[in-house]
Structure 1
Amino acid sequence: MELTWITCLGIFFSILGVAYAILVERYRRVWEKMSEWKIPPGYTPSVLVSVVIPARNEASGIGACLDSILQQQYPAHLFEVIVVDDDSSDETAAIALQFADSRISVLQPPGTPLPEGFVAYKKRALETGVSKAKGDLILTTDADCVLPPHWLGLMASCYERKGWHCITGPVAFHREGSLFERFQSLDLLGMMLITGAGMRMGLTHLANGAAFGFSKAAFEEVGGYSDISRLASGDDLLLLHKIMARYPGKTGFLKTTQAVRTEALGSLKAFFQQRVRWGSKSRSYSDRKITAVLALVFLLCWSVLLSLALLFWLPWYWLTIPVVLIVSKTWADYRMLRSAARFFKRMDLFNAFWPAQALHILYIAGVGLASNLVVRYKWKGRRVK
């Protein structure tokens, strides 16, 4: 009976490892077949763009963010910037107001009383900005981000030439110092590959509001955030899912080396809270294929940990199981992350690959569990869910 139990568990764990390696390798191959989007030769912009920036207590970054937008290589008369100050307690709004540029406006969400248990503060800020936007194309970013000089042109040309109603683009960390920050950066590059390849495969796992765009018409057509306001997060991915359902084949990932830049988190606590916030959206996914992929990754990481723990009680030949799991995951991750790092010209991050492997297993196992068990978490000084 004991042998049967051990054998069945070992087979199950091994299947998880092999399935993970096959899936990740497929993502990598799809990614490498995708063409990089570049502004087409002779492209003349014609679409009016509204950049909406929800900001809460971002005094340290809002200035650099606005500078990077005003320096965009895009016709000045074809874009506006709307900063929505989400009840900041610092100088965020004051700094934004110091910019003497008619293209920048600073708004605040309406002061109407909020219902008990309200958590969708960021969505409320975004809706405020979108409602005042004059542009046909809405682009969102975060107040702690810096945009590459051709970002507006890349997003606008993609929108005009491809006819997409929703576009998500790459985000990357910069100015990494510690090993922990390099781990975050390498991990995020992998997420960008998964995002792009996943969308090409019809599996929309991720989207990032720091590099996000949608047509105002599509936003209004799907009702904005009206039925996804029960969660604090999801202003990007859950909206993308709604637009995908309404406009099949009219959404996509903009593959470009010109990633929106921000800084990695400095503490493990902040990192954990961020990933729990990201993971909390998974409970609202309706696509079973996406849920199955997330479950596979989660179960694989727990299988590695459990198989190592069982070494203390099971026969010596059990050692083959954690070896199979670790080799499968490491082989697949190495090839995927190397492909992503090469494309984004960040091979310097690869010295963090080996320690990142151990951290990745631990954080996926922990965050995956917490995302489904933690009801409320702290985000920008607020307790939300």
Structure 2
Amino acid sequence: MIFLEYAELVLFVICAFTVFYLLIYAIAATGNRTDKYSESRIKHRFAILIPAYKDDEYILYAVRSFLQQEYPIDCFDIIVISDHLDSETNLQLSQYPIILLQARFKKSSKMKSIKAAMSQLQEGQYDIVLIMNADNVVEKNFLDELNNTYASGSNAIQAHRIYQERPDSVSVLNAVADEINNSILRAGHVNLGLSASLNGSGAALDFAWLKEHINYLKDDDDEKVIESLLLRERIYVEYLNKTHVQVLKNGGRKKFYTQRGNWIRAQYYSLFVNIGNLPGAILSGNFDYADRILQWLIFPRTILLGLIFLFGILSIFLSWTACIKWWGLLFTLLLTMAIATPNYLVDNKFNKAMKAIPFMAIGMIFNILLGRKK
């Protein structure tokens, strides 16, 4: 019995640490911070990489979005990596002033497409590499904003990804989850002087740096591996809260489950690879890197919510003191997520989507336990 009490207390301490970690950054994200940089006279050259795996429905919108940029057309190249796109889509793409690389990988991945594209580019050919998704569209001043930020000395930049259209509960929950991440992992961090987290699209990196480090990346790696390489070298990741990347695709419920499961697996893989560097990062004063390792150490929000709710229910049958602390922690977590959710998302669709959370959380947990991957 004593052992169970100690185990419950240890789990509560871990959950409480996670909740208050999230709360600190959620509150920090509410602070005002300008992310506008002075207009740069220099127009740096962009390599815009758009891996497109079976994204026939959206890729043309993404390409047209960049062709409408106010940025000088001779200062950027749109490089589409066509992986399993239809021949008709490839024919349409070939009519645009872009670089079209065609591939049919047996085991496709975004990183494999990026590596294939980077292998075709020469050192010194570009200044900035911009990594996008095939379902992303941007505003006309997007490249100008990135160029001004890069010219100020930022070698790694993350734009603000948003879900413009939210036709159903899944897309609403995707939008809310993304904005909570934007608040806590990006805006909250930069407001406290720490690096933002990369999210896989709308990420601009120094071209020479990525060219030098591309061979360190495996085919199934994601943005967390790029993050760890940047932070080990103390390269700060800037976040442009007012520079938007709009997401067009609504992946559906199955994609929602699979995507979250993949993210959780990637988080703990990154933790496994980097945890041994935590003491050295702290002792050397590399607090950006140390913070990111701690971020990978804490429970993902969905698991955290499920654990706290479960023990809140169980504590009703144990003792009133346990009940108070678990339900108090649940209230604090819900408050944290409320603070981190922007007002524009709170509407009738939001209220309907909230009712679907318990069922989707159960479905996601089953998906993780069954170990399903893309």
CA distance in 2, matches of 1:190, 1:106: 35
Structure 2 CA distance, aligned partners of 1:305 and 1:190? 20
Q: Is the 8 A contact 1:13 1:321 kept in 2?
A: no
Q: Kindly report which structure 2 residues correspond to 1:295-310, keeping only aligned pairs within 5 A, or say none.
A: 295-298=297-300, 300-310=304-314
Compute the displacement of 1:300 (Å): 3.2
1:172 matches 2:172? no
Provide TM-score, normalisation by structure 1.
0.78
Among 37, 44, 57, which residue is 1:47 paired with? 44
The aligned amino acid for 1:377 is K
1:89-100 to 2 correspondence within 5 Å?
Answer: 89=86, 91-99=88-96
Shift of 1:320: 2.6
The residue aligned with 1:336 is 340
Q: Secondary structure at the match of 1:143?
A: coil
Amino acid at match of 1:167: I
Query: Counterpart in 2 of 1:383?
Result: none
CA distance in 1, matches of 2:65, 2:74: 16
Tell me, yes or no, if the aligned pair for 2:179 and 2:340 is still in contact at 8 Å. Answer: no
Give the secondary structure class of the aligned counterpart of 1:260.
strand
TM-score by length of 2: 0.80
Which amino acid in the other structure matches residue 25 of structure 1? L
The answer to whether structure 1 residue 190 and structure 2 residue 180 are counterparts is yes
What letter matches 2:176 in structure 1? Answer: L
**2-side partners of 1:314 and 1:43: how far apart?**
63
Aligned mates of 2:252, 2:260 — CA distance in 1: 12
CA separation of 1:30 and 1:318: change in aligned 2, threshold 3 A: closer
* Contact residue 19 and residue 329 of structure 2 kept, 8 A: no
Are 1:108 and 2:105 counterparts?
no
Q: Do the aligned partners of 2:22 and 2:336 also contact (CA within 8 Å) in 1?
A: yes
Large movers: runs of 4+ above 6 Å: 202-205
- Structure 1: 5+ residue stretches without partners: 379-385
Q: Is the 8 A contact 2:172 2:350 kept in 1?
A: yes
Judged with a 3 Å threshold, the aligned counterparts in structure 2 of structure 1 residues 350 and 320 are, in CA distance, closer, same or farther, namely: farther
Partner of 1:62: 59
Q: Following the alignment from structure 1 to structure 2, what is the Cα–Cα distance between the partners of residues 370 and 24?
A: 25
Structure 1 position 68, deviation (Å): 0.7
* Distance (Å, rounded) in 1 between the aligned partners of 2:14 and 2:203: 33
Residue 320 of structure 1: aligned partner: 324
Aligned residues: 351
Match of 2:216 in 1: 227
The yes-or-no answer on 1:158 pairing with 2:160 is no
The Cα of 1:316 is off from its aligned counterpart by 6.2
The CA deviation at 1:18 is: 4.1
User: What is the alpha-carbon distance in structure 2 between the residues aligned to residue 203 and residue 91 of structure 1?
Assistant: 46
| Residue in 2 that maps onto 1:284 | 270
2:298 partner amino acid:
L
Q: CA deviation at 1:70?
A: 0.7
Deviation by residue 1:238-275 (Cα, 9 ceiling, x = unmatched): 123213323x1x33132232310113534221111112
SS at match of 2:243: coil
Which residue pairs with 2:241 in the alignment? 256
Letter in 1 for 2:264: G
Cα RMSD (Å): 3.4
SS state at 2:298 partner: helix
The answer to whether the 8 A contact 1:13-1:325 is kept is: no
Q: Does the aligned pair in 1 maintain the 2:197–2:237 contact within 8 Å?
A: no
Match for residue 225 of structure 2? 238
Identity within the alignment, %:
17
1:377 corresponds in structure 2 to: 373
CA distance in 2, matches of 1:348, 1:309: 28
CA contact (8 A) 2:45 2:126 kept: yes
C-alpha distance in structure 2 between counterparts of 1:90 and 1:270, whole Å:
25
1:359: which partner in 2? 357
In the alignment, the residues of structure 2 paired with residue 132 and residue 230 of structure 1 have an alpha-carbon distance, to the nearest angstrom, of 16
Residue 290 of structure 1: how far off its partner (Å): 3.7
Letter in 2 for 1:258: T
* Deviation of 1:154 (Å): 1.1
2:116 corresponds to 1:128: yes
Deviation at 1:14, TM superposition (A): 4.8
Amino acid at match of 1:30: A
